[in-house]
A and B are shown apart, each in its own frame.
Chain A
Amino acid sequence: MAEGTHVPIRKYLVVWLWLFILSALAYFIDVVHVPAPWKAILLVVVALMKAGMIMAVFMHLGYERLSLIYAVVAPLVFLLVMTIAFLPEGTAILGSHSIVAP
Chain B
Amino acid sequence: MATAELSLQQEFQDYTLRSPFRASWQKVMMWVFIVVDALTFGSLLVSYGFTRVSIGTWANPAHVFALHIGGKEIPLLLIAIMTFILVSSSGTMALAVANAYERNKKRTVLFLTLTMLLGLTFVGCQVYEWTHLITHGTRPWWNPYGPPQFGAYFFTLTGFHGMHVLSGVLYLAIVARMVANGTLDRRGSYQLVEIAGLYWHFVDLIWVFIFTMFYLF
Chain A residues in the interface with B (C-beta under 8 A): 1-7, 9, 12-13, 15-16, 19-20, 23, 26-27, 29-31, 40, 43-44, 46-47, 50-51, 54-55, 57-60, 64-65, 67-68, 71-72, 75-76, 79, 82-83, 86-87, 89-97, 99, 101-102
Given contacts A65-B22, A76-B38, 6 further A-B pairs with CB under 8 A are A4-B101, A12-B94, A23-B83, A57-B94, A59-B201, A68-B21
Check if B54 sits within 8 Å of A3, measured CB to CB. no
Closest A residue by C-beta to B39: A79
Closest A residue by C-beta to B145: A102
Check if A68 sits within 8 Å of B31, measured CB to CB. yes
- Of the residues B35, B45, B76, B211, contact of A76 by C-beta under 8 Å: B35
A56, chain B: closest CB distance, angstroms:
11
Check if B90 sits within 8 Å of A54, measured CB to CB. yes
A90 with B94: in contact, given A65-B21, A76-B38 (CB under 8 Å)? no
B49, chain A: closest CB distance, angstroms:
6
Check if A26 sits within 8 Å of B211, measured CB to CB. yes
B144 / chain A contacts, CB cutoff of 8 Å? 102
B57 / chain A contacts, CB cutoff of 8 Å? 101
Check if A12 sits within 8 Å of B49, measured CB to CB. no
Q: Digitize B85-107: 1 where CB-to-A-CB distance is under 8 Å, 0 elsewhere.
A: 00100110111011001000000
The 7 tightest CB contacts between A and B, nearest first, are: A90-B53, A90-B54, A16-B91, A68-B21, A47-B212, A79-B42, A12-B94
A22, chain B: closest CB distance, angstroms:
9
Closest B residue by C-beta to A46: B212
Check if B76 sits within 8 Å of A30, measured CB to CB. yes
The number of inter-chain residue pairs (CB within 8 angstroms) is 162
Question: Is B208 part of the binding interface, using a Cβ–Cβ cutoff of 8 Å?
Answer: yes
- Cα distance A41–B202 in the bound complex, in angstroms: 23
Question: Is B70 part of the binding interface, using a Cβ–Cβ cutoff of 8 Å?
Answer: no
B62 / chain A contacts, CB cutoff of 8 Å? 30-31
Closest B residue by C-beta to A15: B94
- Cα distance A6–B191 in the bound complex, in angstroms: 11
Check if B49 sits within 8 Å of A90, measured CB to CB. yes
Check if B198 sits within 8 Å of A59, measured CB to CB. yes
B91 / chain A contacts, CB cutoff of 8 Å? 12-13, 16, 19
- Of the residues B54, B87, B202, B209, contact of A47 by C-beta under 8 Å: B209
Question: Is B142 part of the binding interface, using a Cβ–Cβ cutoff of 8 Å?
Answer: yes
Q: Digitize B184-203: 1 where CB-to-A-CB distance is under 8 Å, 0 elsewhere.
A: 00000111001001100110
- Cα distance A29–B211 in the bound complex, in angstroms: 13
Check if A50 sits within 8 Å of B216, measured CB to CB. no
Check if A4 sits within 8 Å of B216, measured CB to CB. no
Check if A95 sits within 8 Å of B56, measured CB to CB. yes
- Cα distance A16–B94 in the bound complex, in angstroms: 9
A3 / chain B contacts, CB cutoff of 8 Å? 101, 189-191
Q: What would 15 A/B residue contacts be, using CB atoms closer than 8 Å?
A: A1-B13, A3-B191, A6-B101, A9-B95, A19-B87, A19-B90, A23-B211, A43-B212, A59-B205, A65-B21, A71-B35, A83-B42, A83-B45, A92-B54, A94-B56
